[in-house]
Amino acid sequence: MKLFAHLLMAAVLAAPVVSFAKEAAPKVAKPDLVAGEAKFTAMCASCHGADGNSSTPVNPKLAAQHPEYLVKQLQEFKSGKRANAIMSGFAATLSDDDMRNIAYWAAAQKAKPGFAKDKELVALGERIYRGGIADRQVAACAGCHSPNGAGIPSQYPRLSGQHADYTTAQLTSFRDGVRKNSLQMNQVAAKLNDREIKAVSDYIAGLR
């Protein structure tokens, strides 16, 4: 009888915990791609292209980018963790749902391939991308962004086909401490000189 009483008390005490765990599970709404396209067209297309394939080298291509990465960047533009006067202004007007809708719509678009331009530098860029720089403890880019530049969803962004000018600007910003929303990239870029940054950026542009 005493054992039964102990078991009953344990069950009563455990019940609220079980109930709370079930209620705590968040419900995430499915992205609205129609709303995402409308918002992208109104706010993003002039800089990033109607289909997310920017034709301006200083503005990144967003088509086929991992949606989780795009949401993270928009949130950090809005919070100020990633500094950019233009993007911070746009992101400030977006709700969390807007960000998700835009990101998932852009991710669903087909990316147009890019091209490497500097034959003299592309070999150096390939060596850095695939093998890193051992004597300076620079890790290979392919380790996180994959050999073909597809990246790893929700962790590391897709790079393949990205404008070399944009990639160069971002690596330089990471190196100089201007862009501060990735400690890992700050540490990697800090060990690269201008020529190496340009080389790896040009190689990335031609990846597919």
pTM, two decimal places: 0.85
The CA distance from 157 to 99, in Å, is 17
Would you say the CATH fold of 119-205 matches that of 33-107?
Answer: yes
pLDDT in tens, 98-155: 999 999 999 999 999 999 999 889 999 999 999 999 999 999 999 999 999 999 998 8
pLDDT at 18: 40
pLDDT at 24: 55
Number of neighbouring beta carbons within 10 Å of residue 7: 10
CB of 61 closer than 8 Å to CB of 53:
yes
Q: Using 50 as the pLDDT threshold, list the residues of the chain that sit under it.
A: 1-22
DSSP 206: T
b/e sequence 179-189, b meaning 16+ C-beta within 10 Å: bebbeebbebb
Question: For the domain with range 119-205, which CATH number is right: 3.40.50.720, 3.90.1150.10, 1.20.120.1200, 1.10.760.10?
Answer: 1.10.760.10
Residue 6 CB-density burial (10 A; 0-12 exposed, 13-18 middle, 19+ buried): exposed
pLDDT at 64: 98
The CA distance from 108 to 64, in Å, is 6
Residue 207 CB-density burial (10 A; 0-12 exposed, 13-18 middle, 19+ buried): buried
pLDDT at 133: 97
Domain segments of the chain as ranges: 33-107, 119-205
Q: Which run of H or E residues covers position 203?
A: helix 194-205
- Ordered DSSP codes for 93-116: T--HHHHHHHHHHHHTSPPPP---
pLDDT at 25: 52
Task: Choose among 203, 184, 200: nearest CA to 192.
Answer: 200
What CATH superfamily is the domain 33-107?
Cytochrome c-like domain (1.10.760.10)
The CA distance from 72 to 124, in Å, is 31
